[in-house]
Amino acid sequence: MVNAKFSGLVEFAKGFEPRAKISHVLFDFDGTLSLIRQGWPEVMLPMFDEMLPSQGSETTDQRRRMLYDDIMRLNGKQTIYQMIQFADRVKERGGQAREPLWYKHEYLRRLEVRIRSRLDGLREGSIAPDSLLVHQSRQLLDLLQQRGLKMYLASGTDEPFVKQEAALLQVDRYFGTHIYGALDDYKNFSKKMIIDRILRENQIPGEQLLAFGDGYVEIQNTKEVGGVAVAVASDEANNGSGQMDEWKRQRLLGVGADVVIPDFRDAQVLLDYVLNDH
């Protein structure tokens, strides 16, 4: 659906009502703001495919589709959950699974090879930070800051990496001390825990929370407390294309997203509408 006020694509869930009292905003990181790790499924999927015991009757396509669905179903949760799921797949096929943490470290080693040039480019100044942010992210962050809304960042990526990458992208200043990521003791972190903490520490009802994310977890958790969830169905490989990733769109609408956008080109109009300032 294209609304006349929007220059790009936007889709509102049936019955969506604007909220004038939004006071706190939660962001996912990878795929929602950051593109540093763009292409990560192209690292995880081949690794799983290489390590999964084969079953005689399945085709390569069937096997890769099953693994891809496992991976994307858990997108937004801590990386360790994808590794736990994979270890279970190995066991159910009679294989000898390694510890999920071993798979996670091997995946991160392979991913680091893929993204090293991006990190180096940001550090050296040869890559502009905004080129590795989802289109017009900074515009949205500036607008939220100008409105005095308190912003939080929560990612399924390990916390030291999230903090480092947010600093390299020069977006850490929007969140201050409120940047959270996965912990080695994975049971002590979840996006649900962060949402509960935001509501508790600020003594606000869920209706005052707005969240932006491209994974089902933050969308679902936000809707569970009565917040407004904006799904960012970002086309990560073609940043700025204005097209929605159809897999993300369908998945995120399916868990209750209020609004779906491809990027933040219409940040001003979107906020005016969602926050009932139009």
**76-126 pLDDT, tens digit each:** 899 999 999 999 999 999 999 999 999 999 999 999 999 999 999 999 999
Look at residue 2 and tell me whether its pLDDT is greater than 60. no
18 and 89 in a single domain? The answer is no
Count Cβ atoms below 10 Å from residue 184 Cβ, excluding itself: 11
145 and 248 in a single domain? The answer is yes
24 and 81 in a single domain? The answer is no
Mean pLDDT over each residue of the chain, to the nearest integer: 95
142 and 208 in a single domain? The answer is yes
Domains contained in the chain, number = 2
Q: What is the dihedral of CA 61, 64, 69, 72, to 10 degrees?
A: -130
137 and 160 in a single domain? The answer is yes
Domain that holds residue 244: 11-35+133-274
- Give dist(CA 83, CA 105) in Å, integer: 10
Instruction: State residue 158 phi and psi, 5-degree precision.
Output: -55, 140
152 and 200 in a single domain? The answer is yes
151 and 246 in a single domain? The answer is yes
Check residue 98 and report its DSSP letter.
Answer: P
Interval 20-33: pLDDT, tens? 999 999 999 999 99
- Give dist(CA 142, CA 259) in Å, integer: 20
Q: Is residue 26 within 8 Å of residue 152, measured between CB atoms?
A: yes
92 and 225 in a single domain? The answer is no
Residue 225 lies in a domain: yes
**How far is residue 48 from each of residues 31, 75, 83, 207, 237, measured CA to CA in Å?**
21, 15, 9, 40, 22
Interval 235-267: pLDDT, tens? 999 999 999 999 999 999 999 999 999 999 999
116 and 158 in a single domain? The answer is no
3-class secondary structure, 102: helix
151 and 207 in a single domain? The answer is yes
Check residue 99 and report its DSSP letter.
Answer: P
233 and 209 in a single domain? The answer is yes
For residue 209, the model assigns a pLDDT of: 98
